[in-house]
Amino acid sequence: MSDTPVPVVTAPRCITSALAGKAPAPAAGAAISVATLAGVVALTSLVVIGTVLGQPVLIPPLAASAALVFAAPALPLAQPRSVIGGQLISAVVGFVTLFVGGRSLWTAAVAGGLAIGAMALARAPHSPAAATSIIVVLTRPEPALFLGLLALATLVLVAVGVLAGRSGKTARYPSYWW
């Protein structure tokens, strides 16, 4: 056995600094509980509404919308203007793109990109809504029915967000309405 010390190799300081990051402080347990309960209530409410109406109301982008509304209620992307407006704008973009380009993955990709631009122009950015435009192209739902159910679903998310925001355990929601 040698008495020669083994050199310790460390990453350059610029790499360790970049990897350290500045993650936000952990949320309080009560805030996590309220966000979780609100998410379960809102999303299961969409299932109940869909069951009563005999129509699917819970679509995957709405779960992502719920995550923003309940876990990050102060973000601009979580405000009612963005949740409701962004989802409806993106769905309309999806229908227009479907009409022009037909049902294909190419058209769906274009619809998602165009939805981002349309939401930005309307000052209603909501990242989950870009996926809604893709769903419209790929599933070809009946426009009036889909838009009506989507409006109802986003109103449910916002309403549950308002209730959660009044719990005193999370940030007050919304920060602004429109």
Predicted pLDDT at 174:
94
Q: Is 14 exposed, middle or buried (0-12, 13-18, 19+ CB in 10 A)?
A: exposed
Spatial separation of the C-alpha atoms in residues 13 and 113, rounded to whole Å: 38
More confident residue, 137 or 178: 137
Rg (CA), the chain: 21
Buried b (16+ CB within 10 A) or exposed e, 135-162: bbbbeebebeebbebbeebbebbbebbb
The pLDDT assigned to 25 comes to 78
24 vs 56, residue with greater confidence: 56
Which of 24-38, 44-58, 70-84 bottoms out in mean pLDDT, i.e. has the lowest?
A: 24-38
Peptide bond into 143 cis (omega under 30): no
**What pLDDT score does 10 carry?**
66
Q: Taking each helix axis as running N to C, give the angle between helix 29-53 and helix 60-71, from 0 to 180 degrees, rounded to the nearest 10.
A: 150
Distance, CA of 167 to CA of 149 (rounded, Å): 27
CA proximity to 161, closest of 27, 45, 28? 45
**pTM for the complete prediction?**
0.84
- Give the position of tokens 């996926």: 131
Tell me the per-residue pLDDT of 111-162, one tens digit each, with 9 for 90 and over. 999 999 999 999 999 999 999 999 999 999 999 999 999 999 999 999 999 9
**174/1: higher pLDDT:** 174
For position 153, what pLDDT does the model report? Answer: 98
Higher pLDDT among residues 166 and 11, named by residue: 166
Residue 115: what pLDDT? 98
d(CA 140, CA 69): 27
Pull the structure tokens for residue 8.
């310790």
Residues in CB range of 116: below 8 A, 6 or more apart: 125, 130
The pLDDT value recorded for residue 15 is 64
pLDDT tens readout for residues 19-38: 667 777 777 888 889 999 99
